[in-house]
Structure 1
Amino acid sequence: MQIYPIQPSFTAGDCFALAAQPGCRFSIAIYQQRNDEALTSVSGIVVSDMKGVTATLIDGKYVFQSSGNNSPVPFDQDWGWPTISMKPHAPALESGAYVVVAYEVSANGEPLSDLGRRCSTQQPVFGWPPDSDNMALVIARPRTPAAPIAYIVPTATYHAYNATGGGCYYRDPIHRTSPALKVSLRRPGGGLGALLGEPADPYDPRSPRQQFTHWDAKFIRWLRAENMACDFYTDLDLHCATDLDLANYKCMLSVGHHEYWSQEMRDHVARFIAGGGNLAVFSGNTCFRPIDFGVQGQGDAKEMNRLSESWPDFNESDLIGLSYGYGGGKFGIWRRLRGGWIQRKRGPTGFKVEQERHWVFAGTGLKNGQTFGAEDRLAGYEVDGVPPISNGFNTLARTPQLVGWDIGGVGALGVFQPESVGNAKQGLVFNCGTTDWARVLSDPDARSHAVVAQITRNVLRNFLGHGADSASWQDASLDEIVAHTDAGDSVLDVQQDTAAADTP
């Protein structure tokens, strides 16, 4: 059965509203993305209100019955399903990424599926199909800021690719839909359980690309393993700026495929950087397409409108340094007569180092002219590049010309400082320029895993103030960098790992 949240995020300790498919008898379990690939069961629920739903307690568990008929609803309308207002039954809920699972049960509460049996006994579950069809992603904001990093979950991008209800922003050859300009946020599929009509990722086919599990879950697991605490928010929180004040944070994280941004999102991030905040972009195709949620301030967003194909003159590069408009993408090709997607794989493409002494590469052992990430296909499936007229982006590494890719530019990785107006506190932007960073970061068997992890660690440590000042590291030797490293740091923070890097 299907479910969706009325709003994609809620404040930890408060209730959130969940919409449930009409005509179903079901129970609910709450899971969280923690350190493991599998989701972790965290709690039962406390119900505060119901509309179009009845509930019975059987052996201490709720059995819900939703009313109404499950009639088809278009992708651009509020589906208006029956709702339950609830909160996780936990005394101190941390900010994080949570997954609600709805599983159908018999009249006496017995689960009718293997997924339900696992949920009822609090066993781990996985956030990919087919189980994800029963799931909804909800983000718990902190009641008060508690971490130095604000992690923004790209729910707008999830909905942009979600064809549930018969449409999305893209042509879907499998479900035979045409590109639309408006999608509803009140339907299943905002991060989990989406209907998608695009090729699977040949380098991680278990989870669809435009889903939370494919990118964000991987990065969150790495952050938790590194003990890097984050407060979690969504695009809508960044847009409204009522529950999120970026001034409370040292660093904002943008991960995976953070493609769709509103002007308000851009404005809030620009002010954050101008005030001394740092933006870490471990995403590709970032901020490339403009949207509007149709809300101002503390709004009740129900839909999302695509405003144009891209920002004028790819001017998102003025904020983040790079643009997909100067990079490239490598996609599958649909051939109806052959019954599916073909040419999904891409050639081995990585980044060639140009500034080995920069603090971003500290402890990696990389040398100028050396390429890392090629055998892992680190560059792709979408890559961002530098504007042809210099905007001040400090390119630390770049891809070869992306011949045969969409656009066919050159991808880049580096550090950027947006133009300031006499503000000495101006922050920095690190941009890795590729969607697949999180995939390699989470794969210990990837050849470039150690290098990618070390670069990520360097960026976040520096942006949180735990490393030497970036200006003083620009031309420092590795020995000088080691001398500036805090006592008690792990060996990986300072050691050279030449074996981890690809040869030229």
Structure 2
Amino acid sequence: MVRLRRRWALGLLAGGVSAVALGTTEPVLGRRRSGTLVRRQPPPVEVENRAAGTPWWPEDGRRATNDRHRQIQGYASTTSVAPGESIDFHVAVNPAGRYRISIHRLGWYDGAGARTVLTSPEFDGVPQQVPAVDPVTGAIACRWPVSWTVRVPDDWTSGLYQAVFTSADGWRACTPFVVRDDRRAAALCVVLPVTTWQAYNQWPRDRRVGKSLYNGYAATGRRDPRLRALEVSFDRPYADHGIPIQLTRDHDAIQWLERRGYDVSYATSFDLHSGRLDPTRHRGIVFCGHDEYWSWEMRRAAEQAVAAGTSLAFLGANSIYWHVRLGPADDGRPERLVACAKTTPDPGEDSAGPTVTWRVVGRPEQALLGVQYNGIVGSPQPLVVRAADHWFWAGAGVADGDRIPGVVGGEADGVHADVPRPSGVDAAVLSASPYRTRDGGHRVQNTHLYETPQGALVFASGTLCWTMALNRQGHRDERIERATGNLLDRITGRAGPSAGPAVPARG
């Protein structure tokens, strides 16, 4: 039987089991105190996905802006917003001309992938300058004027949204933001890794000025890691067309979760950092993409959630690798900077320690995840199944040693024998996949799962290609879909073909 935390069990007994609490996709019958049977409403995301969808971005990328000409680009004033709150968009158009902004919610929508929720009137746009680089930190922070302010309507469903900027002559760019649901606790909350998105953002990618936490540009126009920024700002567009480099991995997971009808809401790294997101209100927290850059506050919140019985599912790899410091803009607006020196001394070091890897500060990621980053995969490799009789693989039709093609790719995690692992838990290593690193080394990828005495499950897929196997055309694999469904059904308490008696996990 699926273990329910005490406060969840009491809530279900008091109010009747609901589709919202269990994450089911069909309305179920509950009972009023009078004994009358009433029909419960389905989760908001399921209702949202019944609406007609409209693709939000041309598949061929026609007329996509680039950073050399910056035909149209923009950024948002915040990474997340709740209904009733406002968000500003700052847009530059080169040359000056008319433009519109459309806002789209990304989801399943019967395969359309998005729904258009709002379109602005036409505005007059003008060029804006690329600001000077901060001589100490390398940060590039724009101070473009506000172009349009949107008060988020009460009926916008929590999700990942894209604001698309389209000029009169057809050039397009965009910027992402999240609409939270602070009023209602969904069974699962997906945390979008905006700190990692920004870490990789090298706007403007013009071979002259742009900087990320990885590279700057040498005088030759070549990228040079010695010239990288120590801080990056959210007060700037994402490079070129505005889609963050790693966002497609998150989008694959979002589409799959919504296609499967899970009761989900959405938040960002900053929400976890600030406390706007209380993980213990949810049955599980899903980190679906490349989630590499974590603040002390983020990690503390995740660890406290596990201790309280909330489950964590990491569907990517190389998670919780860099320790970062999050800070305000120069004018005091909160949560606009990500700082990561990556080496010592760290000029901004505070009581949380230097912004280097979590391993260097004595908190290796394996202590929470059960595995940790061990290499860049030279070319996609099969995931080799282990512990096939574990409930995680139930119904997937796999045996030990089966090879699931192309699932191990990008970056990979593995169990490090000399690094502390979570203690006092039931742990299982669910794959053991040999691969060759980009520099010719030999490593083994591991998918890992453990359960705490408090009933929390902590899952780490150990590969950046897991979400592609859930959703992406040409990569989907029913075995990975079934196993992931088993995991999330167990976390949410959702009845399904994968629900059944727990099988003791093996290390």
Is TM > 0.5 for Structure 1 vs Structure 2? Answer: yes
Residue correspondences, number: 394
Q: Deviations over 1:26-54 (max 9, x none)?
A: 21111111215655342335xxxxxxxxx
- Residue 180 (structure 2) aligned to one of 141, 147, 165: 141
Q: Are residues 1:77 and 2:140 paired?
A: yes
Secondary structure, aligned partner of 2:149: strand
Q: Equivalent of 1:184, from 233, 238, 243?
A: 233
Deviation of 1:70 (Å): 2.8
Instruction: State the shift of 1:398 in Å.
Output: 1.3
Q: Give matches, 1:50-449, under 5 Å.
A: 62-66=121-125, 69-74=128-133, 76-84=139-147, 86-87=149-150, 92-105=155-168, 112-113=169-170, 131=172, 134-165=173-204, 166-171=210-215, 176-177=223-224, 178-189=227-238, 193-194=241-242, 210-212=245-247, 214-241=248-275, 243-294=276-327, 300-308=334-342, 309-312=356-359, 315-324=364-373, 327-330=374-377, 346=379, 348-372=380-404, 374=405, 377-389=406-418, 391-392=421-422, 393-402=427-436, 405=439, 408-417=442-451, 424-443=453-472, 445-446=474-475, 449=477
Whether the 8 Å CA contact 2:490–2:499 is kept in 1: the answer is: yes
**1:25 aligned partner:** 98
Match of 2:117 in 1: 43
Partner of 2:86: 15
- Displacement of 1:427 after TM fit? 1.3
State the match for 2:504 in structure 1.
474
CA–CA separation in structure 1 for the residues paired with 2:462 and 2:123: 45
Summarize the Cα distance change of 1:426–1:292 in structure 2 as closer, same or farther, 3 Å threshold: farther
CA distance in 2, matches of 1:180, 1:70: 19
- Which residue does the alignment assign to 1:456? 484
Q: Does the 8 A contact of 2:289 with 2:464 survive in 1?
A: yes
The whole-number CA distance in structure 2 between the counterparts of 1:408 and 1:18 is 47
Q: Which runs of 5+ in 2 are unaligned?
A: 1-71, 205-209, 343-355
Aligned partners of 1:277 and 1:152: how far apart in 2?
Answer: 14
Q: Aligned partners of 1:260 and 1:232: how far apart in 2?
A: 18
Offset of residue 136 of structure 1 = 0.8
Partners of 2:287 and 2:366 in 1: CA distance: 15
Partner Cα distance (2:304, 2:444) in 1: 29
Contact 1:316–1:323 under 8 Å retained in 2: yes
TM-score (normalised: structure 1)? 0.71
C-alpha change, 1:211 and 1:415, in structure 2 (3 Å) is: closer
Which amino acid in 1 is paired with 2:103? I
After superposition, the C-alpha distances for 1:346-396 in whole angstroms (9 at most, x for unaligned) are 1x5222222111111000111112222x3xx21111001112136255212
CA–CA separation in structure 2 for the residues paired with 1:149 and 1:251: 5
1:430 and 1:41, CA in 2 relative to 1: closer, same or farther beyond 3 A? closer
Alignment partners' CA distance in 2, 1:320 and 1:432:
10
Residue of structure 2 aligned with 1:5, choices 73, 76, 99? 76
Post-superposition Cα deviations, 1:386-429, rounded to whole Å, max 9, x if no partner, equal 121362552121111535557643210021347xxxxx425120
Q: Aligned with 1:459: secondary structure? A: helix
Shift of the 139–288 alpha-carbon distance from structure 1 to 2, 3 Å rule, reads: same
Contact kept, 8 Å, 1:329 with 1:406, in 2: the verdict is no
TM-aligned CA distance change 1:279 to 1:66, over 3 Å: same
1:491 is aligned to none
Letter paired with 1:63: E
- CA pair 218-81 structure 1, distance change in 2 beyond 3 A: same
CA distance in 2, matches of 1:10, 1:150: 15
Q: What is the DSSP-based 3-state SS (H/G/I as helix, E as strand, rest coil) of the residue aligned with 1:457?
A: helix
Tell me if structure 1 keeps the 8 A contact 2:105–2:117.
no
Question: Shift of the alpha carbon at 1:143?
Answer: 3.6
Letter in 2 for 1:136: T
Tell me the alpha carbon deviations over residues 277-300 of structure 1, each in whole angstroms, 9 at most, x when there is no partner: 00011011111111111269x971
Contact 2:315 2:460 in 1 (8 A): yes
Could you say what secondary structure the match of 2:489 adopts?
Answer: helix
Rounded to whole Å, the distance in 2 between the matches of 1:29 and 1:475 is 48
SS in 1 for 2:447: strand
Amino acid at match of 1:155: V
Aligned equivalents of 1:464, 1:142: Cα separation in 2: 18
CA contact (8 A) 2:142 2:235 kept: yes
On the 8 A contact 1:43/1:88 being kept in 2, the answer is: no
Compute the TM-score of the two structures, normalised by the length of structure 2. 0.71
Q: Please give the alpha-carbon distance, in whole angstroms, between the structure 1 residues aligned to 2:505 and 2:458.
A: 19
CA 1:411–1:475: 2 relative to 1, 3 Å: closer
Deviation (angstroms), 1:87? 2.6
SS at structure 2 position matched to 1:285? coil
Q: Which amino acid aligns with 1:396?
A: L
**Distance apart, 1:225 and its partner CA:** 0.8
For residue 312 of structure 1, give the secondary structure of its aligned residue in structure 2: coil
Task: List alignment gaps of at least 5 residues for structure 1.
Answer: 46-60, 106-111, 116-130, 195-206, 332-345, 419-423, 477-504
Aligned partners of 2:235 and 2:336 also within 8 Å: yes
CA contact (8 A) 1:328 1:405 kept: no
Q: Is the CA contact (8 Å cut-off) linking 1:30 and 1:98 kept in structure 2?
A: yes
CA contact 2:113–2:255 (8 Å) conserved in 1: no
Contact conserved, 2:83 with 2:154, CA < 8 A, in 1? no
Mean CA deviation greater in 274-283 or 91-100:
91-100
Paired residue secondary structure (2:238): coil
Distance 1:315 1:366, change over 3 A: same
8 Å contact kept, 2:108–2:258: yes
Distance 2:265 2:383 in 1: 31
CA distance in structure 2 between the aligned counterparts of 1:275 and 1:464, rounded to whole angstroms: 15
Mapped to 2, the partners of 1:215 and 1:397 lie a distance apart of: 21
1:69 Cα offset (Å): 4.2
Aligned to 1:49: none
Q: CA deviation at 1:88?
A: 6.4
Counterparts of 2:501 and 2:233, CA distance in 1: 45
Superposition deviation, residue 462 in structure 1: 0.6
CA distance, structure 2, for counterparts of residue 407 and residue 291 of structure 1: 28
- CA RMSD of superposed structures (Å): 2.9
Deviation at 1:312, TM superposition (A): 2.3
Structure 1 residue 470 displacement after superposition: 8.7
What's the offset of the Cα at 1:193?
Answer: 3.2
Q: Percent identity?
A: 24
| 1:363 counterpart SS class | coil
